[in-house]
């Protein structure tokens, strides 16, 4: 009798987005004359930068001619893209990351979800709360947690991000082996200072731990003092893996391209206490289970680094940050404390009441959908996430309605 992986049964059903869709759907059918604006989504709304579209067209033409056609590419990504990433995203910021330490992929979701495969099952996990749910759920699926207990799972060390620590968890007293960090953060939009990241790097070195640093939103950082990469911190090459994505940098959520950096200097230990290079393990994993990102998509990603591409992607992120500024100002007028939105596309609002109650209130009175914080973890209760990913017109209309409804 074939048996299932029963770890899946431990997963709390993810009701968040289904619940939002159900409540918005019910409202829309009851009030067809009052269209709802969704300020909750984590997906971009603006089209691809023209430089990327041109590159996609040119690559499609190459694929149409025998002389320039390409079949399977390198599993780790084409050299042209890895070299651009190495020089622009790292060398220009004073970080030494070689092209062959970069693994191009079709998304940071898969990479942040798959990376746990190369670690032992009985390691101690430290995961933020609130959190991008992929980090937790993929470890639950792999059997690295006990059963669900309320909004949490037994056996995981939760790193609480609350108003009292400015939504940036401090290093815990307890040791952990694998630490997930995400800055700029989803869902809070908080960013970590150099000193805060240095404390995490020191913690990892002290505990022989590995940090998984998700910087999918690094393109939104405007404050020059905030590190854009964990490798800006001394010693991080020995303790950290970094995940980046073109999804929110250049509108690639539907085009799909991202990358993961595994420095060759990074090790974890085998059962006999011998150090093993994680680069070799991730390379083995990717070459076995992944066949590379499509050639036209990698060309489109490379175009982001051209002069026009850089200007256009900066324009895109500036546009969303403009929305974020309007949202922050509206929350300030309403007297609702918030973080994020200055170096991130999310604004985390302390609504001072149950997050679903506030969601319903906003939907009923303003026909605006936000994301209830409780869906991101226990510490998300009392908050909602508002996203800057929308047209300017929608943001302005939504904020006018919220202002009128809550005044």
Q: Are 8 and 141 in contact (CB under 8 A)?
A: yes
Enumerate residues 269-288 that contact ligand PLP by CB under 6 A: none
Q: Which of 292, 291, 389 is nearest to 345 (CA)?
A: 389
Q: Which C-beta is closer to ligand PLP: that of 258 or that of 384?
A: 258
Mapped onto helix, strand or coil, the DSSP state of residue 229 is coil
Q: Are 374 and 301 in contact (CB under 8 A)?
A: no
Query: Is residue 260 involved in binding ligand PLP (CB under 6 A)?
Result: no
Query: Is residue 45 involved in binding ligand PLP (CB under 6 A)?
Result: no
- Given candidates 162, 193, 253, 397, which one binds ligand PLP under the rule CB under 6 A? 253
* Spatial distance between the Cα atoms of 23 and 158, rounded to a whole number of angstroms: 30
Q: Are 399 and 327 in contact (CB under 8 A)?
A: yes
User: How crowded is residue 339: how many other Cβ atoms within 10 Å of its Cβ?
Assistant: 23
Q: Which of 204, 188, 270 is nearest to 237 (CA)?
A: 204
Q: How far is the CB of 96 from ligand PLP (least distance, A)?
A: 24
Q: Are 207 and 178 in contact (CB under 8 A)?
A: no
- Given candidates 86, 139, 247, 294, which one binds ligand PLP under the rule CB under 6 A? 247
Longest Cα–Cα distance of the chain, Å, equals: 67
User: How crowded is residue 126: how many other Cβ atoms within 10 Å of its Cβ?
Assistant: 25
Residue 317 belongs to what H/E stretch?
helix 307-333
Q: What are phi and psi of 289, to 5 degrees?
A: -110, -5
Query: Is residue 99 involved in binding ligand PLP (CB under 6 A)?
Result: no
Query: Is residue 351 involved in binding ligand PLP (CB under 6 A)?
Result: no
CA angle 175, 179, 182 (to 5 degrees): 145
Q: How far is the CB of 44 from ligand PLP (least distance, A)?
A: 10
Q: Which C-beta is closer to ligand PLP: that of 251 or that of 267?
A: 251
Residue number with the smallest Cβ distance to ligand PLP: 107
- Given candidates 86, 116, 139, 245, which one binds ligand PLP under the rule CB under 6 A? 245
Q: Which C-beta is closer to ligand PLP: that of 44 or that of 331?
A: 44
Q: Binding mask 186-205 vs ligand PLP (x if CB under 6 A, - otherwise)?
A: x-------------------
Q: How far is the CB of 132 from ligand PLP (least distance, A)?
A: 4
Q: Which C-beta is closer to ligand PLP: that of 247 or that of 313?
A: 247
CA distances (Å), origin 19, targets 135, 289, 346: 21, 33, 20
Q: Which C-beta is closer to ligand PLP: that of 138 or that of 247?
A: 247
375 CB burial (10 A radius; 0-12, 13-18, 19+): buried
Q: How far is the CB of 60 from ligand PLP (least distance, A)?
A: 22
Q: How far is the CB of 303 from ligand PLP (least distance, A)?
A: 17
Q: Which C-beta is closer to ligand PLP: that of 153 or that of 217?
A: 217
Enumerate residues 103-162 that contact ligand PLP by CB under 6 A: 107-109, 112, 132
Residues that bind ligand PLP (CB under 6 A): 42, 107-109, 112, 132, 182, 186, 214, 216, 245, 247, 253, 258
């Amino acid at each position: 009798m074939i048996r299932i992986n029963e770890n899946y049964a431990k997963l709390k059903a993810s009701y968040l987005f289904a619940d939002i869709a159900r409540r918005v759907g019910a409202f829309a059918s009851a009030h067809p004359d009052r269209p709802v604006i969704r300020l909750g989504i984590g997906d971009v709304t603006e089209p691809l930068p023209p430089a990327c579209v041109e590159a996609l067209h040119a690559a499609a033409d190459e694929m149409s001619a025998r002389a320039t056609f390409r079949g399977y590419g390198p599993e780790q990504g084409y050299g042209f893209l890895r070299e651009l990433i190495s020089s622009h995203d790292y060398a220009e910021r004073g970080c030494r990351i070689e092209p062959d330490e970069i693994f191009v992929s079709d998304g940071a979701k898969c990479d942040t979800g798959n990376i746990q495969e190369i670690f032992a099952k009985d390691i101690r996990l430290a995961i933020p709360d609130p959190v991008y749910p992929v980090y937790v759920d993929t470890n639950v699926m792999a059997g690295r947690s006990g059963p669900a207990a309320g909004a949490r799972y037994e056996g995981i060390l939760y790193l609480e991000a609350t108003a009292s620590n400015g939504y940036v968890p401090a290093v815990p007293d307890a040791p952990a082996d694998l630490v997930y960090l995400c800055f700029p953060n989803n869902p809070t939009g908080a960013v970590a200072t150099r000193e805060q990241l240095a404390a995490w790097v020191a913690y990892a070195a002290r505990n022989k731990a590995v940090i998984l640093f998700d910087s999918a939103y690094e393109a939104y950082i405007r404050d020059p003092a905030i590190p854009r990469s964990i490798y800006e911190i001394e010693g991080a090459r020995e303790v950290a893996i970094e995940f980046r994505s073109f999804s929110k940098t250049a509108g690639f959520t539907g085009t799909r391209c991202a990358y993961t950096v595994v420095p060759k200097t990074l090790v974890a230990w085998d059962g006999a206490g011998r150090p093993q290079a994680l680069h070799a393990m991730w390379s083995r994993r990717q070459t076995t289970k992944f066949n590379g990102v499509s050639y036209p998509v990698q060309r489109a990603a490379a175009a982001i680094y051209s002069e026009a591409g850089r200007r256009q992607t900066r324009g895109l992120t500036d546009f969303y940050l403009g929305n974020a500024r309007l949202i922050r100002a509206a929350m300030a007028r309403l007297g609702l404390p918030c973080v994020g939105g200055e170096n991130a596309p999310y604004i985390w609002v302390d609504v001072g009441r149950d997050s679903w109650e506030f969601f319903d209130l906003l939907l009923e009175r303003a026909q605006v959908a936000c994301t209830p914080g409780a869906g991101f973890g226990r510490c998300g209760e009392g908050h909602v996430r508002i996203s800057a990913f929308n047209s300017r017109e929608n943001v302005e209309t939504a904020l006018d309605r919220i202002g009128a409804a809550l005044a």
